[in-house]
Amino acid sequence: MLKLATAQVQQFVQGLFAPRSGYVNQRSAAQESEVDLALVWVVVALLALGLLMVYSASIANASEAKFTRGSATYFLARQSLFVLIGLTAALFVFDTSMKHWERFAPWLIAGTILLLILVLIPGIGRTVNGARRWIPLGPFGLQPSELMKTAMILFAARYAVSKVDVLHA
């Protein structure tokens, strides 16, 4: 009886991980380019939750602060603007071919290193809390180290693709 139950459990587990014949390869080219709706809904939910948290955390202080002009929704509006900028950038990134990112990676690394050097030049880099890490761009500030994170990921991916035969050895 125990052997039969064990065999059934084994068969069930193997069935979970067994490839389904024809299922994986039935996707057409049109389906390959479709957006993953589950991922989109997760991103939308996280953005909405983030905006709600910014609003709930700042509503008490925003109405009293001088630089918000007494607006209780100042931080919500500001964060919403950043969300729109981020979504616009994301659409640009998703629409760009991987081949373009592979060609662009070394130039992005070089440009980011140049920005990291510019931060150290007096008059260009802005000191905040005793650290010179920012380049002022009007009402915004650019922190080149954040760009370097993305540049390093792209460069490492490009390197791994170019050395795929060595890495799989």
Residue 58 has pLDDT above 70, yes or no: yes
> pTM for this structure?
0.62
The answer to whether residues 87 and 44 touch, using CB atoms and an 8 Å cutoff, is no
From residue 96, how far is each of 32, 70, 106 by CA, in Å? 16, 42, 16
Percentage of the chain surpassing pLDDT 70? 78
Cα dihedral across residues 65, 70, 73, 77: positive or negative: negative
* CA gap 136, 119 in Å, rounded: 10
Longest CA–CA span in the chain (Å) reads: 81
**Model confidence pLDDT, tens digit, residues 13-54:** 555 555 555 445 555 555 555 778 899 899 999 999 999 999
What integer pLDDT is reported at residue 4 of this predicted model? Answer: 54
